[in-house]
A and B are shown apart, each in its own frame.
With several copies, the nearest count.
Chain A
Amino acid sequence: MKKIEAIIKPFKLDDVKEALNGIGIKGMTVSDVKGYGRQKGHKEIYRGAEYEVDFIPKTKLEIIVDAAQVDQVVDTIREAANTDKIGDGKIFVLPIEEVIRVRTGEKGREAI
């Protein structure tokens, strides 16, 4: 099993979710994060003063998948999340040693 973490632009969440459903991914965990990277932050105006805000709202997806599915999932996310602009995000693949479903105790593949 692998864990795929993807940092994407928030307004792309629906597209990515639908795309993943399309390839049979029926579970994921999502959270709001702030990102810092190449993409220039935006300026904010506060009573005549300008501030540079360099942390940009991003959405983080965590998806546990079978090792065999990794490439497909990665490609799917890339297509759906891509706007060809800096800041589209990153995808990280991490190893997972075990997955357990709380309710049943099922492990591995059965658990997801």
Chain B
Amino acid sequence: MINTGDTAFILAAAGLVLLMTPGLALFYAGMVRSKNVLGTILQSFIMIALISMEWVYLGYSMSFGPDVGGVIGDLSWFALNGVTTEPSPDYATTIPHTVFMIYQCMFAVITPALITGAFAERVRFGPFVLFSLAWAVLVYNPVCHWIWGAGGWLGSRGVLDFAGGLVVHLTCGAGALAAVMVVGPRKNFGRANFMPHNLPMTLLGTGLLWFGWFGFNGGSALAANEIAAVAFVSTHLGGMAGMAMWTLMEWLRDDKPTTLGAASGAIAGLATITPAAGFVGPNSAIIIGLLAGLCCYFAVSFKNRLGFDDSLDVVGIHGLGGVIGTVCLGVFASKAVNPGGADGLLAGNPDFLVTQLFGIMVVGLYAFIVSWILCKVIDMAIGMRLDTDSEMVGLDQAEHSETAYNT
């Protein structure tokens, strides 16, 4: 039976998650050079059209439709056939099924958008769109089904992921890693400085992302109940602890905390708490956030030495965050906090930690391999990269015949 409070909550949450995509667009666009601003923004925005369309005619049914052998949903929900305002028996039983569908749609939209940070400032729009579509179908939908779909094999084995540490952050991180390996670094990478062109824009994006994350994690309780409260609180605490730790590290090591550092730490903390949000208590959430800030800070600095051009640190922040969060869930999960969850290592249940590690391995490998093949095939077939001149001129003019700023 439909509950108005739960319905209001998930509709609001769906709106919040939608807002994260423009938020991400600004977060990323602020960090690129001014000649690539619009191209960067569009790479995120276009996902709203591309993936929402895919979701209605393919994605939702593949991800949440009637299970086929634990690996995928069949296509009987094509065009939302049978997805009505009646609550689904399997998912979110107190709200219209369509509300659950559209809420999940927003997750499917932002995940490939997250990848774009990795190959920023250098890929062609057409091949990029093709890649993102294929990636959604071949990586996101299956993994989503394995973990969240009724009958999905990883979920059945007890792998937990509250709001997308594996489904969203690890898949996009692994995809990013593969894409960077195929696409290669920007021209003059290492020689020239690629300074962010507008950090206030990045901070605005951070604010919108944080705000949206309450819908992303809080809404994953699928009802306005105690679990939503747990998830909302750990989300905020994870994010703030990530910010605290990253800025602290900068303070200690460069004796200057930075604004971008605060933003990066916050996103790291929010991404890392995501899989654990509804399963851990506030103090665990803070520890997870602190770990996120610490590890991602070092991962990102280390990458710089590696000369690996994951331009906006999708691997170092989202990929790593997804892994750490999923591991920490195995450690800190507690049925005292969420009876529907699990007990982790500290609650004397090492098996669950192992299960989580298994989940990480499977999802990480699968996402990386498929992404790499996809990217390689498209690159060989039609070429992912802009030619050098276009890269010099910038995405905005070369790919979109637009200029971000005119005086």
Contact = CB atoms under 8 A, between A and B. Distances in A.
A binds B: yes
B195 A49 contact: no
Contact of B195 (A42, A46, A50): A46
Interface stretch (B130-138, B258-266, B323-331): B258-266
Contacts of B297: 48
Interface string A18-38: 000000000000001000000
Contact of B191 (A14, A42, A46, A47): A14
A interface, by DSSP: helix, strand, loop or mixed? Answer: strand
B301 A47 contact: yes
Contact of B250 (A42, A44, A48, A53): A48
A46 to B, nearest CB: 7
B304 interface: yes
A45 B401 contact: yes
Contact of B401 (A11, A14, A32, A44): A44
Q: Which of A48, A49, A53 has the most chain B CB within a 10 Å cutoff?
A: A48
Count class of interface residues, chain A: 10 to 19
A92 interface: no
B403 A44 contact: yes
Given A11-B392, A44-B195, A44-B401, A49 B407 contact: no
B1 interface: no
B397 A45 contact: no
Contact of B301 (A43, A44, A48): A48
Contacts of A11: 392
Interface in A26-76: 32, 42-51, 53
Interface in B193-211: 193, 195-196
B264 A47 contact: yes
B192 interface: yes
A45 B193 CA distance: 11
A45 B256 contact: yes
* Most-contacted residue by chain A among B191, B264, B297, B401 (CB, 10 A): B401
List 3 tightest A-B contacts by C-beta distance, closest first. Answer: A48-B301, A49-B304, A45-B401
Interface of A: 11, 14, 32, 42-51, 53
